[in-house]
């Protein structure tokens, strides 16, 4: 299990670095023109929806566990790992949406 988590973290870090490079190169290429601002606005909107859905799922799981009186403990390491993954996945999703809208427009 630990090796799977390590692999996922390494994959997320590599994709995060590649997405930062993509953001920087496109920002220099388009010089923040109106088209690029529209593309980033649409991509950010999709990412906000992703975060809202993810947080709604987490909150509903917490409420269900509270109402059903499930006694379980979750380590802080796992909680921080999930939050870290949310932040990284948000950036990766933002990059995917930027690529999609850049090709579409």
For the chain, 105 residues long, the average pLDDT of each consecutive 10-residue run is: 87 91 90 90 93 89 79 76 85 92 89
Q: Which long-range contacts (CB under 8 A, 24 or more apart) does 31-38 make?
A: 35/105, 38/105
pLDDT at 55: 87
Distance (Å, whole) CA 71 – CA 66: 9
| Counted domains in the chain | 1
pLDDT at 69: 75
Residue 12: partners with Cβ closer than 8 Å, 6 or more residues away: 85, 88, 89, 92
Residue 84: domain span:
2-104
pTM score: 0.79
pLDDT at 52: 92
pLDDT at 76: 77
Nearest to 5, CA basis, from 92, 77, 91, 94: 77
pLDDT at 100: 94
Nearest to 83, CA basis, from 48, 41, 55, 47: 55
């Amino acid at each position: 299990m630990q090796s799977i988590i390590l692999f996922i973290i390494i994959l997320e870090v590599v994709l995060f670095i590649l997405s930062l490079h993509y953001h920087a190169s496109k920002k220099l290429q388009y010089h923040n023109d109106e088209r690029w601002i529209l593309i980033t606005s649409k991509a950010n909107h999709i990412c906000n929806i992703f975060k809202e859905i993810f947080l709604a799922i987490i909150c509903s799981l917490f409420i269900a566990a509270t109402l059903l009186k499930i006694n379980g403990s979750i380590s802080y390491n796992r909680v921080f790992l999930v939050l870290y993954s949310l932040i990284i996945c948000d950036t990766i999703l933002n990059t995917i949406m930027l690529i999609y809208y850049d090709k579409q427009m």
